Structure 1
Amino acid sequence: MSVKLELYRVFKEVAEAGNISVAAKNLYISQSAVSQSIKQLETALQARLFSRSPRGVSLTGEGQLLYDYVRSALGLLATGEDKLSQAQQLMLGTLVIGASDTVTGQFLTPYLESFHRLHPGIRLKIISGRSAKVLSLLRSGSVDIAFASTPAERERLEAWPCFSTHSVFVAGSGYGCDFDHVYTREEIAAFPLILLERKASSRGFLEQDFLRCGVTLTPEIELSSRSLLVTLAKIGLGVAGVTLEFVQDALSSGEIRLLKTDFTIPARSVEMCTLVDVAPTAAAGAFMEMVQAGAEKEILRPAETGE
């Protein structure tokens, strides 16, 4: 069934405004035109999309279902229109990147600096978030490029490995453990553990690896910040599960030390992701080429400490 795109634009505005008169004002059309558009859309789809009340309108269950798809589709269309209008000579435009604060600080900063120096007219926008969030933003068209840890769901994604990460366990240099001892999984699990919160993909990966060997990790402290893992390990609150590549400064200073283990947790990959069915803008393409060239040169190497 074919429905005019403009009807969906009106539907989205009414859904977000919650009021027909406000939507009409925002769209610069009459209230009757808005009402007629909604009626036409409901007739075409054979569904009641809004509940009316003296205070305005609200989405029905069917309306909410449709709205989620319309918002995403119109977002992608708006993004496409915006990108088409940008100059292809990299003189102006916006490049939106989704990445965690850690990946931005530990990996992307040199690329961002070089890109800005080469193309000062391109506005760089960074949206911070964990892997699941930035991939969701990518699929909705809110970011041009997302940096995520080994995406489990690769539908519509094209990904390029940037660098590998390795999960290890560390403790403050004065912590009451034997740094020369080679610990088993069971012994590691018995420590007061400091881990990232459950929604962190690295936490889930670590737990699943232990569970495959019949060992459950029960942390005493769960955090949203990677830097706090190191901070609390330094002051002796427990053993922290961290990413080796992101704690090199603390290891080099001796504030924390690696625990030796008789097992190795499989490496993960931080990947640069784009949508397969959406052509990158000139700015996105140039930034991707820069990162790919750097990744091939292994700019970020796994540290040898503890290997």
Structure 2
Amino acid sequence: MNTDLYRVFYITAIEKNFSKAAKRLFITQPSVSHSIKQLENELGIQLFTRTSKGVLLTKEGEVLFDYLKQAFDLIDNAEQKIMEMKNLQRGSVTIGGSDSTCKHYLLPYVQSFQKLYPEIEIKLQHGSTPQILDKLEAGLIDIGIIHLPANQSNASITDFLSINSTFVVGKRFQHLTGEQLSLSDIQAYPIISFSEASSSRKFLNQLFLKQNLEIKPDIEIGSVELLIECAKIGMGIAFVTKELVLKELAEQQLFEVDIDEIIEKRKIGLATKKDTSLSLAADKFLSHLLA
């Protein structure tokens, strides 16, 4: 199918004049005549009848025009949508992360991005780091916010934030904050931690393994909010991300426990699917996160 011939026919049918069609198409009038004749020969029908003022469609030409109008309208609409996406007037971004990560680290970026590009739709999906990487591989999300390190050969990972981990207690165990404790000292008290599959728990396990100790939390929690509440009411010593309890520490609802072990900073990364191009909207949001 020669789409150029059909476009010449379509514009000529609208203008009802070869000269006007030639101007609109930025070609010569003989080129218009030649294209129409070529299309008529290929289809084996007459498309126009000449009049003193120009040309009129034949019955067969009217049928062809009706179908081409639908096709060219679809093309025009597609070009319009693409232009809107290019100008970030349309599009969507799907981001995956844990509830606490989204709440404390992602939402401020979402808010500032929406002020800049209010027409872009932001979608969020929940999951642990392994779940987020699975969703990324399946194409369900554009960007994943994950705890590092993460072994994933099909993802491109960029460092995003550094976070600090610490042990905290409520008023019941406030007396523990007056001295420096060892990890073995902490084992003598109830320990509150995230579940076994979480990145935070794995990090805690590694911290104790360095001292040849095994950690067995008495309370396993699925959300940071519940973990904080358990610590506040005195259920034990909680292992948390310090940045998530700054308010509670400042208000003395929680107290930091000093230990004789250096706790390395943890990193949060941004994951995208390797060898896959992001949409314009997703790429702009990723740049916004890294700015």
Residue of 260, 263, 270 corresponding to 1:262: 260
Residue of 134, 139, 150 corresponding to 1:152: 150
Residue of 167, 170, 174 corresponding to 1:169: 167
C-alpha distance 169-251 of structure 1, shift in aligned 2 (>3 A): same
Q: Is the 8 A contact 1:163 1:269 kept in 2?
A: yes
The answer to whether residue 135 in structure 2 is matched with residue 137 in structure 1 is: yes
Residue of 215, 218, 229 corresponding to 1:217: 215
CA distance in 1, matches of 2:97, 2:223: 14
What letter is aligned with 2:159? P
The answer to whether residue 201 in structure 2 is matched with residue 203 in structure 1 is: yes
Shift of 1:279: 0.8
Shift of 1:105: 1.1
Residue of 186, 189, 211 corresponding to 2:187: 189
- Give the secondary-structure state (helix, strand or coil) at the position aligned to 2:133: helix
- Give the secondary-structure state (helix, strand or coil) at the position aligned to 1:178: helix
Residue in structure 2 matched with residue 276 of structure 1 by the alignment: 274
- Give the secondary-structure state (helix, strand or coil) at the position aligned to 2:153: coil
CA distance in 2, matches of 1:116, 1:177: 46
Residue in structure 2 matched with residue 77 of structure 1 by the alignment: none
Residue of 112, 117, 126 corresponding to 1:128: 126
Give the stretch that moved more between structures: 167-176 or 191-200.
Answer: 167-176
- Give the secondary-structure state (helix, strand or coil) at the position aligned to 1:90: coil
Q: Is the 8 A contact 1:167 1:206 kept in 2?
A: no
What letter is aligned with 2:146? A
Shift of 1:235: 0.8
> 1:219-255: per-residue Cα shift (whole Å, max 9, x none)?
1111101111110111111111111111111111110
What letter is aligned with 2:138? S
Residue in structure 2 matched with residue 101 of structure 1 by the alignment: 99
The answer to whether residue 237 in structure 2 is matched with residue 239 in structure 1 is: yes
Q: Is the 8 A contact 1:157 1:274 kept in 2?
A: yes
CA distance in 1, matches of 2:149, 2:218: 28
CA distance in 1, matches of 2:109, 2:216: 38
CA distance in 1, matches of 2:193, 2:106: 24
Shift of 1:88: 2.3
- Give the secondary-structure state (helix, strand or coil) at the position aligned to 2:176: coil
TM-score, scaled to structure 1: 0.65
- Give the secondary-structure state (helix, strand or coil) at the position aligned to 1:261: coil
Q: Is the 8 A contact 1:189 1:215 kept in 2?
A: no
Q: CA RMSD in A?
A: 1.8
Q: Is the 8 A contact 1:206 1:265 kept in 2?
A: no
Q: Is the 8 A contact 1:166 1:266 kept in 2?
A: yes
Give the stretch that moved more between structures: 151-160 or 270-279.
Answer: 151-160
CA distance in 2, matches of 1:193, 1:174: 14
CA distance in 2, matches of 1:252, 1:176: 14
Runs of 5+ unmatched residues, structure 1: 1-82, 294-307
What letter is aligned with 1:119? Y
Residue in structure 1 matched with residue 224 of structure 2 by the alignment: 226
Percent of aligned positions that are identical: 32
Q: Is the 8 A contact 1:189 1:216 kept in 2?
A: no
TM-score, scaled to structure 2: 0.69
